[in-house]
Chains A and B, each alone.
Chain A
Amino acid sequence: MTRVVLDQLCKTYSGAHGAAVSQLDLTLDSGTMTALLGPSGCGKTTTMKMIAGLLDPTGGDIRFDDRSILRDAPEARGAVMVFQDHLLFPYLTVAGNVGFGLKMRSVAPDEIAHRVGEMLEKVQLPGLGQRMPGALSGGQQRRVALARALIIKPDVLLLDEPLSNLDAHLRMDMRDLIRSLQAETGITTLVVTHDQEDAVVLADRVALMLDGQLRQVGPPRMFFRRPVDEATARFFGGRNFIPGTCRCGVFDCALGPLQLPQGARTGPGRVTFRPEALRLAASGNGRNTVRATVTEITYLGTQTRLRLMSNGTEVEALVPPTDADGLKHGAQTLIHLPVPALWVID
């Protein structure tokens, strides 16, 4: 069990103007899984490589259990990185790949064979030890790469985009496998991903990184309910940002006065709510219920997306398709904004 602390971590590549990672503060609690989330080029893989010891930071410190590991060689850190391209050694068998780390540690061949067999079962690839990596499917190669990292029982596991380029159902299986193996081993794990759904499903805590800076860190639901700013909200699918002013728990905006949950900030700002939080209402008596005109209906399969116009302000909603059955373009409807779903940002 290892607690990882990134302290004011910085990285500027030579020749680049602007830092790839700037003053990053992040703590990975012992035994938890944290997702470092962000669009490509935001500095998340750079951060991971610095933890793994494959890149030197230009500033700041990395500590494992309060001990700085910056001077340790990559192989001495106890942190194993699994690369996005899985990088199985092509001239070694699957068993040779999985046992690689043990062989480097001079473990006896008998024990390597035994532990490789066990590990291959854990990743649901029993009996494939003698295959060559090229003979495996993409999903199987991923699992071999995961087994190769887990077999050496690292203190810290670093997974770089472990779910990219997988089919939908393989992706689900792989998510479950990563979750269950992490829970079973209790290894402090950092997952780098650009996909907010993967981050939310996998991680205990999510750290959103945009342009080399950490925007928000917290449990996944915070990003949906309580985003810190518009960029964060948009990254998680937020669409509605309506300017106005908040006084005494009531937000005055084009939609009329809206009741806010406790803890919302006061003063000028924008109210935000998720498209799927919005409800179509039957009667106009409730709080936070406004009249709107349907301007666009798009059937998405599991949901129907509505664009609505209310008092010159556009609102986007995702509703169950059955709720939208009776609606037509130009229809009048009542929409309800539940109090807990509202939040105010700058």
Chain B
Amino acid sequence: MIGGDGIWARWFRTLTCLFLLVWLSLPMVPLAIWSFAHGWFFPDILPQEWTLEAWRHALSDKSGVLDALWLTVGIALAATALSILIGVPAGRALGMHRFRGKAVVEIMIMAPIIVPGIAVVLGLHSVFIWMGLTNTVSGVILVHLIPTLPYVILVMAGVFANHDPAFEAQARSLGASAFQTFRCVTLPAILPGIIVGALFAFLVSWSQYILTLIIGGGRVATLPLVLFNFATSGRNDLTGAIGMLYILPGLLILLITARQLSGCAGAVGGLGRV
């Protein structure tokens, strides 16, 4: 329906919007309450007693939660940087050039998103053991590239598909060296795409559980692993507190970039054009 601005259409839109908001945020509410509760039992609607105990424990040195937080940040940043480093040239090749077997390459890049991670990682495990990469942070960073790269490559392929290489030729002709051309012409044009790709990569790496567990062998304890430990041991209050920490970067990124993201619709829209 084009230009459906009738009163019912508007109501429908508002209702859908509200429904989505509630649907997405509702599960977080009990989590937040639990993190401040000193016991919370049926049929109480709210806990009888409130406490900061869970937070105090989570943020203390002995719980290891903060170590896990920094480790997760480090791994996610490293995986993001590597994804950008590999994904930008790959996206350029896919977005701007035709070559034999391009469709096959595209499917191969999509494969890690489609194939269950656990199947991939079980096969990879033996290779990583052989290469001595299991139980190491670098091994975990490498294995995180499997799910992060496809997102970066897809976003960048969309960006480059809309990128006119004639701008680069024009810059060279005007006296810019190859490096200057990249810095002053190509980079500003693709930067919105890089930001979007980097956010995807960061959040995808941030939320990895099974890949980290198997390749890290439990020695590389990222936040999701720590969180899962507490969740399965029945400490709902600690789970709540760590859970709140865990969703923090996602919320932060969303807040910081919400405006830019809506402003650079071209980059996001590029995803749909691949």
| Chain A residues in the interface with B (C-beta under 8 A) | 49, 52-54, 73-75, 79-81, 83, 85, 87, 89, 91, 100-101, 103-105, 148-149, 152, 158
Are the C-beta atoms of B177 and A87 separated by less than 8 Å? no
Are the C-beta atoms of B174 and A104 separated by less than 8 Å? yes
- Identify which of residues 171-228 in chain B touch chain A, using a CB-to-CB cut-off of 8 Å: 171-178, 180, 184-185, 188-189
Q: Which residues of B contact A81 (CB under 8 A)?
A: 169-170, 173
Further 7 A-B residue pairs, CB within 8 A, beyond A74-B169, A80-B173, A104-B177: A53-B172, A75-B176, A75-B177, A81-B173, A89-B188, A100-B174, A101-B176
Q: List 18 A-B contacts (CB under 8 A).
A: A52-B173, A73-B172, A73-B178, A75-B176, A79-B173, A81-B173, A83-B170, A85-B166, A87-B167, A87-B170, A89-B188, A91-B188, A91-B189, A100-B171, A104-B171, A104-B176, A152-B175, A158-B173
Q: How far is the CA of A49 from the CA of B171 in the complex (A)?
A: 13
Are the C-beta atoms of B174 and A152 separated by less than 8 Å? yes
Q: Considering the complex of A and B, which 6 residue pairs feature the smallest CB-CB distances, nearest first?
A: A74-B172, A101-B174, A104-B176, A81-B173, A87-B170, A104-B175
A55 closest partner in B (C-beta) = B169
Secondary structure of the B side of the interface?
helix
Known: A54-B172, A75-B173. A104 touches B166 (CB 8 A): no
Q: How far is the CA of A89 from the CA of B187 in the complex (A)?
A: 12
Tell me, rounded to whole Å, the shortest Cβ–Cβ distance linking B167 to chain A.
6
Tell me, rounded to whole Å, the shortest Cβ–Cβ distance linking A302 to chain B.
38
**Chain B interface bracket (under 10, 10 to 19, 20 to 34, 35 or more):** 10 to 19
Q: Which residues of A contact B173 (CB under 8 A)?
A: 52-54, 74-75, 79-81, 158
A100 closest partner in B (C-beta) = B174
- Identify which of residues 135-187 in chain B touch chain A, using a CB-to-CB cut-off of 8 Å: 164, 166-167, 169-178, 180, 184-185
Tell me, rounded to whole Å, the shortest Cβ–Cβ distance linking B168 to chain A.
9
Which of B164, B180, B184 touches A87 (beta carbons < 8 Å)? B164
Q: Which residues of A contact B164 (CB under 8 A)?
A: 87
Known: A104-B180, A104-B184. A75 touches B170 (CB 8 A): no
Q: How far is the CA of A54 from the CA of B169 in the complex (A)?
A: 6
B169 closest partner in A (C-beta) = A54
Are the C-beta atoms of A89 and B167 separated by less than 8 Å? yes
Are the C-beta atoms of A87 and B175 separated by less than 8 Å? no
Q: Which residues of B contact A101 (CB under 8 A)?
A: 174-176
Q: How far is the CA of A73 from the CA of B169 in the complex (A)?
A: 11
Q: How far is the CA of A49 from the CA of B165 in the complex (A)?
A: 14
Q: How far is the CA of A148 from the CA of B178 in the complex (A)?
A: 19
Are the C-beta atoms of A80 and B174 separated by less than 8 Å? yes
Are the C-beta atoms of A148 and B172 separated by less than 8 Å? no
Tell me, rounded to whole Å, the shortest Cβ–Cβ distance linking A152 to chain B.
6
Q: Which residues of B contact A49 (CB under 8 A)?
A: 169
Q: How far is the CA of A79 from the CA of B170 in the complex (A)?
A: 11
Tell me, rounded to whole Å, the shortest Cβ–Cβ distance linking B247 to chain A.
34
A84 closest partner in B (C-beta) = B166
Q: Which residues of A contact B177 (CB under 8 A)?
A: 73, 75, 104
Q: Which residues of A contact B170 (CB under 8 A)?
A: 81, 83, 87
Q: Which residues of B contact A149 (CB under 8 A)?
A: 174
Tell me, rounded to whole Å, the shortest Cβ–Cβ distance linking A96 to chain B.
10
Are the C-beta atoms of B166 and A87 separated by less than 8 Å? yes
